[in-house]
Amino acid sequence: MKIVREDALRQIAEKQKQRHEANASLLNTNKREAVREQMKIKSNEVQSQKKVDEIEKKKIIFEENSSKENSRINVQPKINAPLRETGRIAVNFTSRVFPTPLRESQTEMEDEWLRKQLDSRQYNTDLQLDLSENEKDIDYLKTKANQFFQQGNFQSAIGVYSHAIRIFPKVAILYSNRGACHFQVRNMMKCVEDCSRALELLDPPVLDNLPQRIKAHVRRGTAFCELELYAEGIYIYI
């Protein structure tokens, strides 16, 4: 029993010794890590201080250079230049309705077109009709007819355009749009007649009426092709 007890005590003593050695090793490791961390912090502080010193040095150099530049500028003699006299330049522009310059325009044709436009907007006073203000307003009539056209009610659109033409017989777009309505109801001859009348009113050909002339030509040419009058249609397209 005595031998067993001595062996147990010896084992306990060895375990305690191993535990102390492990604790001592861990303590040494922690100390080394702490030392490394302190060295790292110290190194960062040194680097930061170097950067601060460099910035301060650059600032001092910049201030010295600025001071020298200001001194050089202040030394330069002042020159009192006389003020320039003010005045006005009169510029006269040629009055133009069309976007093209006068030198590139066809003045006679453009003046004739403007006269036609003025005449076309005048109300036909020969008609003794009891009409409301809307029924005598060309913009209202065009809007109403366009609404019927968009709804697919082409006969009503033709009726409104016909009424507008009675009051404003020289407005080309009314004939061209009515021709488009006739085309939709397959009345090709009426379409050709209306587009032809529109082209007559759009003469002389100037830049201002180019979009309307293109639409009228296309509608008339397409109507000729639908009538199997291909020669006339091709002639219009080319």
At 83-108, the pLDDT tens digits run 777 777 776 655 655 555 554 556 66
pLDDT (mean) for 219-227: 89
Q: Report how far Cα 106 is from the mean position of its chain's Cα atoms.
A: 34
Q: How many Cα atoms occupy the beta-carbon half-sphere of 179 within 13 Å?
A: 26
- Please tell me the distance from the alpha carbon of residue 163 to that of residue 174, in angstroms, as a whole number: 10
pLDDT confidence of residue 128? 45
Q: pLDDT band for 120, please (50, 70, 90 cuts).
A: low
Q: Write the pLDDT tens digit of every residue in 159-181.
A: 999 999 988 888 999 999 999 99
pLDDT per residue as tens digits for the range 148-160: 999 999 999 999 9
Tokens 């077109």: give the residue.
Answer: 113
Handedness of CA 205, 208, 214, 215 (dihedral sign): negative
CB-side neighbour CA atoms (13 Å) of 26 = 6
Q: Render pLDDT for 11-63 as a digit per residue (tens, 0 to 9).
A: 766 767 677 666 666 666 766 676 677 777 777 777 777 777 788 888 788 77
Q: Which two tokens stand for residue 172?
A: 């080309």
HSE-CB of 135 using CA atoms within 13 angstroms: 9
